[in-house]
Amino acid sequence: MKLLYRCCAGLDIHRDTVSACIRKRVRGQADALIEEQVFGTYTQELERLRSWLKKRHVHRIAMESTGVYWIPVWNVLEGNFTLQLVNPASVRALQGQKTDRIDARRIAEYLQYGLLRGSFIPPKPIRELRDLTRMRVHIQQDRNRVVNRIARLLETVNIKLASVASNIVGKSGHAMLRLLAAGKRDPEELAECALGQLRSKTAELIVALDGRPDEHFRWMLSELLRKLDRLDEELARVESRIEKLAVPYNDVVERLATIPGVDHTTALVLVSEFGTDMAQFPTPAHLASWAGLCPGNAESAGKRFSGRTRKGDRYVRRVLVQSAWAASRTHDCFLAAVFFRTARRRGMKKAAVAVAHRILVIAWHILAEQGARYQERGGDFFDRSRPERTARKLARRLDHIGYQVTLVRKTYAPERPPKAIIPASDCPRCHRWQLPACICLCRHKGKPKNSTQ
């Protein structure tokens, strides 16, 4: 087997210890020289690990992705070495040969012969933006749970606000909940808080707000509203921080937002998850495989088994599938045509995944090509690309419901030559009317300007 790196190191990382192994091939010797040592995970110990590796002229290091314990090690070593984070499944130990020392030695050996495939680790600014966008997702999920608890609490006292208002914590709903928590019980007084289109449902609101709230309900509602306000404040602070860190990527975010179904928030999530440099993903297929938005590859003995998508970046999958559903409701859109074309054969859910894959491919091209933007093909793209096939399909549908159809291609009449129009210098008014000659009366002689009399 060909040796790729003369000197490299492997790290087996745990919560409290880091087992390090250096493999160095010396000219004229059959076996590699191995040097091993165990370090702690405190900052001073990690800095000592960095110095130990530098003194031995190590340039390339591989480490396992173990929970979050690899992150501080990566942060200390980043910038001084060529780092590679590997999936533990690719360096799994043989049965009966599993110790920290053996694991580090095996990682170093695999790295020396080029048998490891590293995971994608974006640069530090992108990682910071990624932490914030993921925090926003978790805060939004917590907020949704609080809103659901408020809705269930209202049902326990037979207040049917959710049956009338689509958003019970909107501006109108929030004002009603505040009054309920303060002890107000009059349905008509509560219904007066309705704003906008909800004003037209005042009569329904009066009936829906006629419940039986008690002191325990008011205390529970006050606590939930207090928690909701705190989450709203946290969400506002996180979004402000995201917008501040996303300033260098505003142009990329704007170009990604030209894709149907992709808004500003979704574009920010895409940038924060896989960055703007597509050198890590040579083709769109590599990016789709990394995100887990491509068919699975399971085949044996010439038989193809399940094609389920593998586990990928769940944050990317979530926002892209949501964008796919939004694009499916866009008028005269190529992605909507892809959605319904796939849904006829495979169902709505698989069609959403297929459109999410297509959006990811488009995003790769926008990021890989300088200044690229989304170019709409139109909802009738497939009809225009193969008109004969579309005509036969429509004819078969009409034949099934009892119509006799004869397909005749339409012949277009030759275009007429453009008619002559009087120049604007002769008569601006007749030129504006697109007349071949002037019909205005002469100011002095009382006859047309082009008259020969």
Question: Which is more confident, 387 or 264?
Answer: 264
CB contact set of 334 (below 8 Å; sequence gap of 6+): 260, 376, 377, 378, 379, 381
Residue 439: pLDDT band with limits 50, 70, 90: confident
> How wide is the angle at C-alpha 126 spanned by C-alphas 123 and 132, nearest 5°?
140
Residue 429 pLDDT greater than 90, yes or no: no
How, if at all, do strands 33-40 and 60-64 pair?
A: unpaired
Residue 441 is given by DSSP the state B
The span from the CA of 1 to the CA of 206, in Å, is 80
431 band by pLDDT with thresholds 50, 70 and 90: confident
DSSP letter assigned to residue 10: E
Closest CA to 314 of 293, 297, 329: 293
Q: Tally the C-alpha atoms within 13 A of residue 287's C-alpha that lie toward its C-beta.
A: 27
Of residues 237, 30, 249, 279, the one with CA closest to residue 132: 237
Banded pLDDT at 365 (limits 50, 70, 90): very high
What is the model's pLDDT at position 441?
A: 53
Contact at 8 Å (CB) between 260 and 333? yes
Q: What is the 3-state secondary structure (H, E, C) of 67-124?
A: CCCHHHHHHHHECCEEEEEECHHHHCCCCCCCCHHHHHHHHHHHHHCCCCCCCCCCCH
Q: How far is CA 433 from CA 416, 443, 447, 448, in A?
A: 19, 19, 19, 16
218-230, pLDDT tens digit by residue? 999 999 999 999 9
Q: What was the pLDDT predicted at 96?
A: 63
- pTM, two decimal places: 0.80
Mean pLDDT over each residue of the chain, to the nearest integer: 88
Say if residue 366's pLDDT is above 70.
yes
Q: How far apart are CA 295 and CA 439, in angstroms?
A: 71
Dihedral (Cα; 95, 60, 118, 67), 10-degree rounding: 60
Instruction: Work out the percent of the chain whose per-residue pLDDT is above 90.
Output: 57
Q: Give Cα separations from 209 to 173, 177, 193, 196, 295 (angstroms).
A: 11, 10, 12, 18, 50
Report whether pLDDT(362) > 70: yes
**Helix or strand run (H / E) with residue 24:** strand 17-24
Instruction: Count CB-CB contacts under 10 A for residue 217.
Output: 18
CB 281 within 8 A of CB 290: yes
> Which residues pair with residue 20 across a beta bridge?
11, 37
How does pLDDT run across 285-305, given as a tens digit for each residue? 999 989 988 877 777 777 777
Q: 128 — phi, psi (to 5°)?
A: -65, -40
183-219 pLDDT, tens digit each: 888 989 999 999 988 999 999 999 999 989 999 999 9
Q: What angle do CA 18, 23, 29 make, to 5 degrees?
A: 160
* Residues paired with 13 in a beta bridge: 18
CA 134 to chain centre: 12
Tell me the HSE value of 410 on the side-chain side, using a 13 A CA sphere: 5
- Give me the mean pLDDT over the 11-17 stretch: 92
- Let me know if domain 7-112 sits in CATH 3.30.420.10: yes
* Poorest-pLDDT segment among 144-158, 159-173, 342-356, 380-394: 380-394
pLDDT at 66: 85
How far apart (Å, rounded) are the C-alpha atoms in residues 334 and 380?
7
pLDDT of residue 172: 92
Contacts of 195 (CB under 8 A, 6+ apart): 171, 172
Single out the residue of 269, 277, 272 nearest to residue 369, CA to CA: 277
Q: Which two tokens stand for residue 215?
A: 């002191």
Q: Which residues, 6 or more positions from 123, have their beta carbon under 8 angstroms from its beta carbon?
A: 275
Per-residue pLDDT at 354: 93
Structure-token pair, residue 301: 């003995």
pLDDT digits (tens, 9 = 90+) for 265-285: 999 999 999 999 998 899 999
Q: What percent of the chain has pLDDT over 70?
A: 93
- Maximal CA-CA distance, the chain: 117
If one counts every other C-beta atom within 10 angstroms of the C-beta of residue 9, the result is 29
Domain boundaries, the chain: 7-112, 125-245, 251-296+308-368, 414-453
1.10.150, 3.40.50, 1.25.40, 1.10.287: CATH of 125-245: 1.10.287
Contact residues for 6 (Cβ-Cβ < 8 A; gap 6+): 24, 25
- In the predicted model, is pLDDT for residue 94 greater than 70? no
pLDDT recorded at residue 414: 63
pLDDT of residue 446: 43
Alpha-carbon gap, residue 74 to 77, rounded angstroms: 5
Joined tokens for residue 69: 């314990």
More confident residue, 440 or 84: 84
Burial of 417 (0-12, 13-18, 19+ CB in 10 A): exposed
